[in-house]
């Protein structure tokens, strides 16, 4: 389905992959995803690996609406605690670092051994990010967001949300290609600078993202596009997450970024079985 160059090793994924989320933050929107100590990181990573995760995504800066800003030093220190522990708990599982700061990405890759840089801002929040990723030579998850973390919901004015997101991501892909960065995963970033209806419009039109010929990441786990429709808290949003992940798989998702690994792995297996029988008809 897709390949990634992970520090010189070509990793092949013949089915949609599952990325588990570990938050080294005290204020991420889903409180059960938070971990505070080395032992907790290692245990959570070990559990995710046993459950079938293909990647583990470690973040140390909460991007939820209203989250307090975090200094670069604090973000790095949290990652220094988290990433080595995740490595110990899940040896052999590629680790992505969830950051929009080039300096943090460099430390995570060069010093802590992260394999992938996951940038929800798509390079918009740090002008050095694209150059840094090119120099580091690691795969890059190109997210779509407007504005900054604290004001992104003020930038939801689109003529056509799908067409505009495609256009803006396409421009950034060209910039990356000019720098020699071709190992790119696309993330439309549900919930970032998008209203509730715009999120569902993007979901309905996910197939159009195939025009990039890049893996497509979908991260909707327990987000407000689920909780607001169902009038529930993130803690009760697992079933809604499974529904949207299944719709996303049907529309071409290559990676599911989730808090709950087992349900996502099962969704992939059932979808792959359905697809194989459907193809045989």
Active site residues: 223, 257
3-class DSSP state of 133: helix
The continuous run of DSSP H or E covering 4 comes out as: strand 2-6
d(CA 118, CA 215): 13
The continuous run of DSSP H or E covering 41 comes out as: helix 38-51
User: Which stretches does DSSP call E strand in 60-151?
Assistant: 95-98, 116-119, 140-143
Both tokens of 230, joined, read 């169902």
d(CA 86, CA 58): 9
d(CA 144, CA 165): 7
Q: In this structure, are residues 101 and 71 in contact, taking their beta carbons and an 8 Å threshold?
A: no
d(CA 22, CA 95): 10
d(CA 54, CA 40): 19
Strand partners, 216: 186
3-class DSSP state of 85: helix
d(CA 18, CA 27): 24
């Amino acid at each position: 389905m897709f390949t990634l160059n992970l520090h010189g090793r070509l990793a092949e994924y013949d089915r949609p992959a599952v990325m588990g989320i570990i938050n080294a933050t005290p204020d991420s929107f889903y409180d059960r995803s938070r971990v505070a100590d080395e032992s907790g990181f290692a245990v959570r990573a070990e559990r995710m690996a046993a459950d079938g995760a293909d990647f583990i995504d470690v973040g140390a800066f909460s991007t939820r609406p209203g989250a307090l800003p975090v200094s670069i030093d604090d973000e790095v220190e949290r990652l220094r605690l988290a990433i080595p522990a995740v490595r110990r708990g899940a040896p052999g599982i590629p680790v992505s670092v969830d950051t929009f700061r080039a300096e943090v990405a460099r430390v995570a890759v060069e010093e802590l051994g992260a394999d992938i840089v996951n940038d929800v801002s798509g390079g918009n929040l740090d002008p050095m990010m694209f150059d840094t990723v090119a120099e580091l030579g690691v795969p890059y998850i190109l997210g779509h967001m407007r504005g900054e973390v604290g004001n992104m919901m003020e930038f939801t004015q689109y003529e056509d949300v799908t067409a505009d997101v495609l256009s803006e991501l396409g421009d950034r892909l060209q910039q990356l290609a000019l720098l020699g960065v071709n190992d790119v995963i696309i993330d439309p970033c549900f919930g970032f600078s998008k209203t509730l209806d715009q999120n569902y419009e993007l979901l309905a039109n996910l197939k159009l993202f195939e025009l990039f010929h890049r893996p497509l990441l979908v991260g909707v786990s327990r987000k407000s596009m689920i909780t607001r429709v169902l009038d529930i808290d993130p803690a009760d949003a697992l079933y809604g997450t499974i529904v949207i992940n299944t719709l996303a798989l049907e529309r071409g998702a290559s990676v599911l970024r989730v808090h709950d690994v087992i349900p996502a792995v099962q969704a992939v297996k059932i979808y792959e079985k359905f697809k194989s029988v459907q193809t045989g008809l």
